[in-house]
Amino acid sequence: MRIVLVGPPGAGKGTQAKIIAGRLAIPAISTGDIFRANVGAGTPLGLEAKGYMDKGLLVPDSITIGMVRDRLADPDVAGGFLLDGFPRNVAQAEELESILVGLGTKLDVVLELVVDNDEVVKRIAGRRLCRNDSTHIFHVDFQQPKVPGVCDVCGGELYQRDDDKEETVRERLAVYERETAPIVGFYAEHGLLSTIDAMGSLDEVTERALAALADR
């Protein structure tokens, strides 16, 4: 099965992508993973992308699309894939369609994770990371540390990233609505869209997504 996963920041795309892909035995492919692989391997596209990133500039669509094209040509995606983080706009959606035509295949479904903006703000703005190890993550509501402001694992100080502050989260949501949300209409017109309520527990959202896939 060939799936695209879309939704606003804080909707749980990364987590759901791994779970759903695992259940379906297909690779979960994120643009972040693709970028890291290309930059780490020093591929021509990776070096080109690094040049932009080192200058604090956005990587052009042409480079991102090239990396996605190369990744989708790999043998492990012959039986399907789940794309997370691509496409981000209608132009990229059209390019993805072209890439898949060139590979002799097409998308099966686009899963849209839908979550209330206030819930997104609550999820992201409540996160606290350990200064010693950013993989130690807590939450002021959902996963409180035993001692306020102190990491349970190593005793490090917990802090809120600037990107997680409410005003920043709301700006990210505005950017999503402006740039990425239009692809929802694009895929709805193509009859590929399945909308998933992303409110509730992790398992509940996963089961809703799998049920939607079973209907395809």
Active site residue 161: yes
Whether 172 sits among the annotated catalytic residues: the reply is yes
Catalytic residue among 2, 71, 128, 172: 172
Is 131 noted as a catalytic residue in this protein?
A: no
Q: Which one of 2, 127, 128, 208 is the catalytic residue?
A: 127
Residue pair 67/99 in contact (Cβ under 8 Å)? The answer is no
Catalytic residue among 18, 50, 69, 88: 88
The single residue listed with the structure tokens 């596209």 is 45
From the candidates 2, 13, 71, 128, give the one annotated as an active-site residue: 13
Active site residue 170: no
* Catalytic residue, candidates 131, 161, 178, 216: 161
Residues serving a catalytic function are 13, 88, 127, 161, 172
